[in-house]
Structures are given as structure tokens and as C-alpha cells.
Structure 1
């Protein structure tokens, strides 16, 4: 597939993923923490998931595809030998951290939030961390234009 088309798909998916997390972090979360009512957060999570998860899948797929086009193959991941390999490797590590946080939220925190707000602060930490990771990945991606880090 044409690199420019892959990049456009990647950027649209990143807009959805990062924008959704910025919205929940900056607009939904403050009110939830103030009211100690997890309802708005749970409703946002449920409404965002059908759009956010396909966006994440597209991000991963197009990101790996573009890495291959740049000559960064799986055997070079986590070698940190070249500037592009460093960008790809750090982004993959951040993706793994995002997956760990998502599993923690889905399996441990969210089921509890449906009964009580006892783990609301823990969920807030998850939301903020995933948002910061998304922003970090966005910034890292911009370094590809300059040859990596």
C-alpha cells in the first residue's frame, strides 16, 4: 500500500485515539472525581470503545506496516541501534504498557466501579497514564519525519 495513504489512515486513527483520551481526561474525569460518580466515565468508555478500539487496531497495523516500509523489521525491534529503530521500539514498549493498563482497568478496576466508586482514583490514574502515553506516542511519531531519535 502507498506510504502516504498508510500515513493518512494512521493520522486519522491517532486523532480518534488521542482526541478521545484527551477529552475523557480533561472534560469527563474532573467532573467524575468531583462528584465521586463513575457513571459518566463508564458511559464514555462504553460509547468510545466501538470507535476507539478499531482506531487502535488501525494504529498498530499501519504503524507496523510503515515501520516495515522504513526497513525496521521485527528482528530489529528493541535493538535501539538506529534512530528509526529507537522510535519504533519505544512506541512498541509504550503500546505494551497501554495494553497492560487497559487489561488492568478492564479486569480489575471497571468491574468494581460498577458497584461503587471505591477505585475511582485508581481509574483516574489509568486514564491519565493512557492519555500521556498516547501523547508521547504522537510526539515520537512526529520524529520519524526528522529521521528518528
Structure 2
């Protein structure tokens, strides 16, 4: 697959992933906190999850394929030797951190949040963290255009 097509898919997927989280943070989270109504977040999550997870899978897939095209195959991950390796490795670390937050939310926070708004502050921390990580990944990805950092 051509690099340009991979980049387009990657950017569209990033738009959905990061945009969906920004919409949650700025559009739904304030209302949920104000009303102490966890269902606002749970309803958004139910609608967004199929599209969000699909975009995340596409992000990971296209990101890895593009990393290989830049000569950063798996044996060079986390070496931080070249500027492009630094970008790829940093984004992979942030991806792993996202997975940790997702697993924590899925198995610890969400089951309790469904029954009570008491977990809203902890869920807010998870939401803000994943959103910030997504924005950082987007910014770090833009450095590839300049040869890395």
C-alpha cells in the first residue's frame, strides 16, 4: 500500500480517535459532572466505541506499516537512536499507556460507574488522560514531517 494512502487513513483515524475524545471532554463530560449523571458518559461511550475502536485499530495498523516504510521495524522499537525512531518509540509508549488506561476503565471503573456516579471523578481522570495522550500522539506524529525529533 502506498505511503500516501496509509497516511490518509492514519490521519482520518486520528481525527475520529482524538476528535471523539475531545468531544467527550468538552461536550459531554462537563454536563455529566454538573448533573452527577454517569449515563451521559455511558451513553456516549456506547455510541462512540464501535467507531472509536475501529479507528484505533486502523491507527495502530497504519502507524506500524508507515514505521516500517521509514525503516523503523520492530527490532528498532524503543532504541531511540534516530529522530524517526524516537517518534515511533514515543508513540508506541503512549499507545501502551492508552491500553493501560483502557483496561483500567473497562475492568475497574466502568462496572462500578454503571451503578453509581461515585466513580465519575476517577472516570474523568481516565478520560482526560486518554484525551491528552491522543493529542500528544497527534503532535508527535506531526514531527515525522520534519524528520523526527
Task: Report the TM-score, using the length of structure 1 for normalisation.
Answer: 0.99
For 2:16 and 2:131, the matched residues in 1 are separated by 12
Alpha-carbon offset, residue 118 of structure 1: 1.1
CA–CA separation in structure 2 for the residues paired with 1:75 and 1:36: 48
Segments of structure 1 that go 5 or more residues without pairing to the other structure are none
SS in 1 for 2:33: helix
Distance across 1 between alignment mates of 2:129 and 2:59: 18
**Stretches of 4+ aligned residues off by more than 4 angstroms:** none
In the TM superposition, residue 90 of structure 1 has moved relative to its aligned partner by 0.4
Write the distance in 2 (CA, Å) between the matches of 1:83 and 1:33: 41
Helix, strand or coil: the match of 1:71? coil
Aligned residues: 149
CA distance in 2, matches of 1:125, 1:35: 17
Residue 63 of structure 1 corresponds to: 63
Partner of 1:78, secondary structure, is coil
TM-score normalized with structure 2 length:
0.99
Cα drift, residue 17 of structure 1: 0.2
Aligned to 2:82: 82
1:6-85 counterparts in 2 under 5 A? 6-85=6-85
Task: Encode CA deviations 1:15-39: one digit per residue, 9 max, x unaligned.
Answer: 0000000000111001111111100
**2:103 is the counterpart of 1:103:** yes
In 1, the alpha carbon distance for the partners of 2:116 and 2:136 equals 32
Q: CA deviation at 1:65?
A: 0.1
Counterpart CA distance in 1 for 2:143 and 2:70 is 13
| Distance in 1 separating the partners of 2:90 and 2:135 | 13
**Helix, strand or coil at the partner of 1:118:** helix
SS in 1 for 2:118: coil
Distance 1:61 1:137 in 2: 15
Compute the displacement of 1:124 (Å): 0.2
CA distance in 1, matches of 2:123, 2:114: 12
Gaps of 5+ in 2: none
